[in-house]
A = this chain, B = another copy of it.
Amino acid sequence: MDAKTYTVKQLAQLAGVTPRTLRHYDRIGLLKPASVDENSYRHYDEHSVLRLQQILFFRELGFELDRVKAILDQPNFDLVSALQTHRHRLQAKQLHMQRLIRTVDATIMHLVGEVTMSEKKMFEGFDEEKQQEYEKQAIENWGDGAKDSIKLWNSYSREQQERILAEGGKIYQTIADQMKLGPHSPEIQASLAQWHEHLRNFYEPTFDILRGLGDTYNEHVDFRATFTAIRPGLPAFLQQAINHYVDMLETEWLERELGILKE
């Protein structure tokens, strides 16, 4: 079989990019056409398709084009360490953005807080006395991380607190509806992943804090009441399911670390 060839537009559509992109890649030497006609028309072949797919893969990972070029052109390129370095950069950026988000939150609170200051203190679940008790326990249990979470939580306006609680409520309801599937079921675990993401709305929980939350849900009177109202048996179920969820997370993390150590 003779090799199939593609025009710029054909290859572009095949790969989901624009012809302009292909011309750009040609110019910077990232993807040269297989052949060029007298009339300067570019033609690509199957090998081009493969190379383009590789390019797009690394591009999606967030590599700059000249890094991609280096990766693909140098036969003994140390890809693994390049990926690890890249991962660190991504993580640093992500951390930075987390802080930005928190700062934005604090700013919103400051602006909104001026209007609803008196209202804020009325919020029932967390009046000042109770809140201090919670703080003490939280500090004893999980250290400063939890304290920060409570501080941040208190910095939210009542509406925001309610919105976040409502969002969380939907997750808990979903879990309650699927209790019969068992705490380790994929459905429940998926809901817990949502729950985990949800928590990140206002702080970044460590493994220990997650587990501590699971325990608290089952042991603390207020939480027990809340969750039992949704469905009897939910507190204990949540504790089990969360524990399993964190176990899986931690295992995953450990494997990653071990993988890195192999290098």
**Which A residues have a C-beta under 8 Å from some C-beta of B?**
60-62, 79-81, 83-101, 103-113, 115-117, 121, 133, 137, 140-141, 207-208, 212, 250, 254-256, 258-263
Contacts and interface: CB of A to CB of B under 8 A. Distances in A.
Given A117-B262, A263-B121, A104 B80 contact: no
A112 B263 contact: yes
B90 A107 contact: no
A108 B84 contact: yes
Work out how many copies of this chain go into the complex: 2
Given A111-B79, A111-B83, A61 B103 contact: yes
A89 B254 contact: no
Given A103-B61, A108-B259, A98 B94 contact: yes
B83 A108 contact: yes
Contact of A80 (B81, B91, B93, B112): B112
Contacts of A256: 105, 108-109
Contacts of A133: 81
A96 B208 contact: yes
Contacts of A81: 133
A106 B254 contact: yes
Nearest to A121: B263
A208 B98 CA distance: 12
Given A101-B87, A141-B89, A141-B92, A262 B112 contact: yes
Contacts of A87: 101, 104-105, 108
Contact of A104 (B83, B99, B137): B83
15 contacts: A80-B111, A81-B133, A83-B104, A83-B108, A90-B101, A91-B101, A94-B101, A95-B208, A99-B250, A106-B258, A107-B261, A108-B256, A108-B259, A116-B262, A121-B263
B212 A92 contact: yes
A137 to B, nearest CB: 5
